[in-house]
């Protein structure tokens, strides 16, 4: 049995066009590899798309690649991740499934108050596949608490469980504050746990939980992920686990400690770091940190330095100056993390201040997502405002 395991493809991510392009190309390249590796089937463990309503371009490219797999008779088994859902619970994955491009295996029914998951059998290999959706704010936890594990544990054969949840036992140190669930919430005795959600590659086996695998994002999703993660996916080949990196560009990563230095001195240190380098097809990640001895962060001549890097062939230059400060004041900074985590932290801090019926932890991310909605094509301003107002009333249960 040979299968590919992808997670967190985040099609449509990155605003910067050059990085958005790499992100899309990563998916295209991964599917091409999957095809040339002649796998029996493909697993996608959530967050195929970056948002519940993906852009036309990312949808078009995703569908084209999934169609290629379908035409070759390579089934795709999928679960929804925290990014795939709209507040109404609708997901683009349903559209893809109706078109015959994938099978959403996170399906179940209520049997005497417990959640009984449906087990899908891959026709070619007889692998038994099931899974659980991931939701924002780890709201899937309540499903795990209702899960009829015995029903899944007594099933015979080669079994795969797909999940989009951080597991406490595998949580990377740098994501200590991330919500997580103990592995004991999962059914025991599966042959492979195809996990997603945590954007850090990690694999581990436990006596009752063999092959718990997080492939990490297919393409890094932020500056810090670009610094630490390669991006890629796994191929499971008869018991052997092989990581397939998706490396479309080279990376040049460097940092300058600007503490007690003048902007001029920082300029010359950056110049020294990039001197005579060939940056062909390379992303440059530059971190500047520390309190300058004089001047302001904007006195560092980044514009000139970045154009030098571009002249040396750089594909794209990314700079992080969030910890670069002027001598006269110390800025208060939230630790760099992704937008969702910051939102979640702020929500947690402010909970309990509103008089509303619904659970706030659930409501606020829904509201943020709703109010983030854009006008549909051809929709008038008036209709758009009316629609937003109605949606908000609905969530607030007014
Ligand atoms: Mn993700």
Structural tokens at position 40: 């029996």
Distance of CA 83 from the midpoint of ligand 1 (Å): 7
Q: CA of 285: how far to CAs of 41, 196, 362, in Å? A: 36, 26, 36
Distance of CA 271 from the midpoint of ligand 1 (Å): 36
Q: Which long-range contacts (CB under 8 A, 24 or more apart) does 93-102 make?
A: 93/48, 96/62, 96/63, 96/66, 99/63, 100/70, 101/63, 101/66, 101/67, 101/69, 101/70, 101/76, 102/44, 102/66, 102/75, 102/76, 102/77, 102/78
Q: How many residues does the chain have?
A: 398
Cβ atoms within 10 Å, residue 34: 24
Contact 44, 9 (CB under 8 A): yes
| d(C-alpha 259, C-alpha 384), whole Å | 50
**Which range (317-331, 337-351, 379-393) has the least confidence?**
337-351
**Which range (1-10, 22-31, 290-299, 340-349) has the least confidence?**
340-349
Q: Where along the chain do its domains lie?
A: 2-245, 250-325, 351-396
On the question of pLDDT at 44 being above 60, the answer is: yes
On the question of pLDDT at 77 being above 50, the answer is: yes
Q: How sure is the predictor about 333, in pLDDT bands with cuts at 50, 70 and 90?
A: low
On the question of pLDDT at 305 being above 50, the answer is: yes
Please spell the DSSP secondary structure of 31-98, one letter per residue. HHHHHHTT-SEEEEES-SBSSSS--HHHHHHHHHHHHHHHHTT--EEEE--TTTB-TTS-BHHHHHHH
- Percent of the chain at pLDDT > 90 equals 72
Q: How sure is the predictor about 335, in pLDDT bands with cuts at 50, 70 and 90?
A: low
- Burial of residue 197 (CB within 10 Å: 0-12, 13-18, 19+) is buried
Planar angle of CA 192, 82, 125, nearest 5 degrees = 30
2-245 topology per CATH: Purple Acid Phosphatase; chain A, domain 2 (3.60.21)
Q: Within 13 Å and on the Cβ side, how many CA atoms surround 39? A: 26
Distance of CA 9 from the midpoint of ligand 1 (Å): 7
Region 332-341: mean pLDDT is 62
Region 21-40: mean pLDDT is 97
Distance of CA 229 from the midpoint of ligand 1 (Å): 13
Among 73, 82, 80, smallest CA distance to 42 is for 73
- Residue 85: what pLDDT? 79
- Of 389 and 274, the structure prediction assigns the larger pLDDT to 274
On the question of pLDDT at 372 being above 80, the answer is: no
- Burial of residue 364 (CB within 10 Å: 0-12, 13-18, 19+) is buried
- Burial of residue 13 (CB within 10 Å: 0-12, 13-18, 19+) is buried
On the question of pLDDT at 47 being above 80, the answer is: yes
On the question of pLDDT at 230 being above 80, the answer is: yes
Give per-residue pLDDT as tens, 171-221. 988 888 888 999 999 999 999 999 999 999 999 999 999 999 999 999 999
Please spell the DSSP secondary structure of 199-211, one letter per residue. SS-EEE--SSS--
Region 366-375: mean pLDDT is 74
- Residue 136: what pLDDT? 82
| d(C-alpha 164, C-alpha 193), whole Å | 10
On the question of pLDDT at 331 being above 70, the answer is: no
Region 90-113: mean pLDDT is 94
| d(C-alpha 192, C-alpha 368), whole Å | 35
Among 136, 288, 126, smallest CA distance to 223 is for 288
- Residue 110: what pLDDT? 94
- Give the residue numbers annotated as catalytic, written as ranges: 83
Give per-residue pLDDT as tens, 234-290. 999 999 999 999 999 999 999 999 999 999 999 999 999 999 999 999 999 999 999
**Average of per-residue pLDDT values in the chain:** 90
| d(C-alpha 147, C-alpha 119), whole Å | 13
Distance of CA 319 from the midpoint of ligand 1 (Å): 23
Distance of CA 290 from the midpoint of ligand 1 (Å): 31
């Amino acid at each position: 049995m040979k299968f590919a395991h992808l997670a967190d493809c985040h099609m449509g991510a990155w605003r910067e066009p050059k990085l958005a392009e790499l992100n899309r190309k990563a998916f295209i390249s991964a599917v091409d590899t999957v095809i040339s590796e002649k796998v029996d089937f493909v697993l996608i463990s959530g967050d195929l798309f970056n948002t519940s309503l993906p852009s036309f371009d990312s949808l078009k490219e995703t569908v084209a690649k999934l169609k290629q797999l379908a035409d070759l008779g390579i089934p795709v088994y999928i679960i929804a991740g925290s990014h795939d859902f709209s507040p109404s619970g609708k997901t683009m994955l349903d559209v893809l499934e109706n078109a015959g491009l994938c099978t959403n295996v996170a399906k179940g029914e209520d049997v005497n108050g417990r959640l009984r998951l449906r087990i899908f059998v891959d026709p070619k290999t007889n692998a038994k596949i099931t899974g659980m959706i991931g939701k924002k704010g780890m709201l899937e936890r309540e499903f795990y608490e209702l899960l009829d594990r015995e029903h899944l544990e007594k099933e015979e054969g080669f079994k795969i469980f797909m999940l989009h949840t951080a597991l406490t036992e595998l949580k990377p140190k740098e994501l200590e504050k991330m919500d997580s669930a103990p592995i004991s919430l999962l059914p025991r005795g599966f042959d492979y746990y195809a996990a997603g959600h945590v954007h850090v590659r990690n694999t581990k086996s436990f006596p009752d939980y063999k092959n718990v695998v997080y492939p990490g994002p297919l393409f890094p999703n932020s500056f810090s992920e670009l610094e630490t993660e390669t991006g890629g996916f796994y191929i499971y080949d008869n018991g052997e686990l092989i990581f397939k990196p998706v490396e479309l560009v080279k990376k040049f990563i460097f940092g300058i400690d600007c503490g007690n230095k003048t902007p001029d001195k920082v300029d010359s240190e950056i110049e020294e770091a990039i001197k005579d380098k060939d940056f062909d097809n390379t992303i440059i990640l530059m971190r500047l940190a520390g309190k300058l001895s004089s001047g302001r962060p904007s006195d560092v001549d980044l514009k000139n330095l970045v154009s030098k890097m571009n002249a040396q062939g750089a594909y794209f230059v990314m700079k992080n100056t969030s910890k670069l400060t002027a001598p006269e004041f110390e800025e208060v900074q939230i630790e760099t993390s992704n937008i969702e985590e910051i939102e979640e932290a702020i929500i947690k801090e402010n909970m309990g201040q509103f008089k509303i019926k619904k659970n706030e932890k659930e409501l606020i991310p829904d509201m943020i997502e709703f109010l983030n909605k854009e006008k549909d094509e051809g929709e008038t301003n008036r209709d758009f405002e009316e629609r937003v107002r109605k949606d908000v009333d609905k969530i607030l249960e007014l």
